Structure 1
């Protein structure tokens, strides 16, 4: 038998998607992409996801910007101690984002790391709300004030943020420097916040037309489907990845005989 993968809806109406011993994952704003009129116009905005460490509490003693004193590794370790935002939506979603954060007990000044999966305006349009946060946008990592530090992130070398928390290089949709956030060991298994590597559940008929590098994106999609139990796509509801087994022709013959 050989392995098979299928995807199906994940019916979750609350923002809280999953939790683990170390963090929770909540979809603050669900992305969308809706054709407008009879031409090629599309009204769209990107999904915004919050990764909240369990050890974090919203008190002033924890509102401390990451420091560059120990280099990029130490700065990242400091940044992931607080709330982590994956994408920010477009600037038109500013108020909705602030309200969604507030419902989780998080203020913009509390956010210590913002990960931008790629550089499109509907995914990083609200970076200005988080001047105290470290920014990891595509492969660029900078601290408050614009101090950039090298990371060495590539497809062969994921970036470990903490226990069960990684950033993967997943090129394709926006070029060679797209990233995804991988959260392992949650109540739903491994959750991958994928940006636009996946537009939505059932995007097989459309993602290639939006991709700057379809070959690289196909590779990224397969890599994510190989590990994810849940995918948070860039423009739709989270969906489940189900792995099963494809029956061989010998198995099918045996079943036919039994049925007869």
Structure 2
């Protein structure tokens, strides 16, 4: 049940134009979960990637968006049978499910998959934690932009932060919990041992 990165996120400036798209991640189950659905122009790419994993949109049980920015929610419309978790909002069709993310409550999908609140980039950010034989993988959205922002805080700050204080706290929280991080706009990385607290 190791998460599969369908598309690696990026953010860059080319010819004085800023371009960005998020990491899009599949967790094959059951349940089948897709995390962050890119922009509204990426539907065909997602359909093809799912087909290569022998899945259709109707096979997806949960759509989880780490936050509500346009490059993370664009293809949610493809998954009409799924429960949608967008930041702190959980819904299926027009039914909204109450859950107290605001006070730190985790949303448990299985004993190996949970959604935890990690506000900072936006105040409703969430991270998906997946336990597998490889270890614990955190799918964080823009809590982390990419590996380089572990040593250069300007990278994640310049990407926008509704609360730098909360983002810093939750970044360290996730680094202590996870073995691997799939950030919002870069390749997956192993958490350096220097971020682990002994005992």
| TM-score after normalising by structure 2 | 0.91
Give the distance between the partners of 1:101 and 1:109, measured in 2 at CA. Answer: 11
Give yes or no for the alignment of 1:206 onto 2:155.
yes
Q: Looking at both structures, which has the greater relative contact order when contacts are Cα pairs under 8 Å and sequence separation is at least 6?
A: 1
- Which runs of 5 or more structure 2 residues have no equivalent in the other structure? none
Q: Aligned to 1:96, which of 25, 42, 45?
A: 45
Map 1:151-170 → 2, pairs under 5 A = 151-154=99-102, 156-170=104-118
Give the distance between the partners of 1:122 and 1:114, measured in 2 at CA. Answer: 14
- Indicate the residue corresponding to 1:241 in structure 2: 191
Give the distance between the partners of 1:171 and 1:87, measured in 2 at CA. Answer: 16
Give the distance between the partners of 1:147 and 1:244, measured in 2 at CA. Answer: 44
3-state SS of the aligned residue for 2:104?
coil
Give the distance between the partners of 2:195 and 2:148, measured in 1 at CA. Answer: 20
- Tell me by how many angstroms 1:92 deviates: 1.8
- Indicate the residue corresponding to 1:34 in structure 2: 12
Larger radius of gyration: 1
Which segment drifts farther, 107-116 or 147-156?
147-156
Give yes or no for the alignment of 1:113 onto 2:62.
yes
CA RMSD of aligned residues (A): 1.6
Give yes or no for the alignment of 1:46 onto 2:19.
no
Map 1:69-88 → 2, pairs under 5 A = 82-88=31-37
Give the distance between the partners of 1:26 and 1:150, measured in 2 at CA. Answer: 29
Q: Aligned to 1:187, which of 130, 133, 145?
A: 133
Deviations 1:153-197 (A, max 9, x none): 2353212111121101000112x110000012x232110000000
Size of the aligned set, in residue pairs, is 192
Give the distance between the partners of 2:156 and 2:40, measured in 1 at CA. Answer: 24
3-state SS of the aligned residue for 1:154?
helix
Deviations 1:214-258 (A, max 9, x none): 111111101011111100000110000121599xxxxxxxxxxxx
Give the distance between the partners of 2:188 and 2:53, measured in 1 at CA. Answer: 19
Give the distance between the partners of 1:111 and 1:189, measured in 2 at CA. Answer: 23
| TM-score after normalising by structure 1 | 0.70
Contact residue 154 and residue 168 of structure 1 kept, 8 A: no
- Tell me by how many angstroms 1:33 deviates: 0.7
Deviations 1:80-105 (A, max 9, x none): xx311111011122111111111111
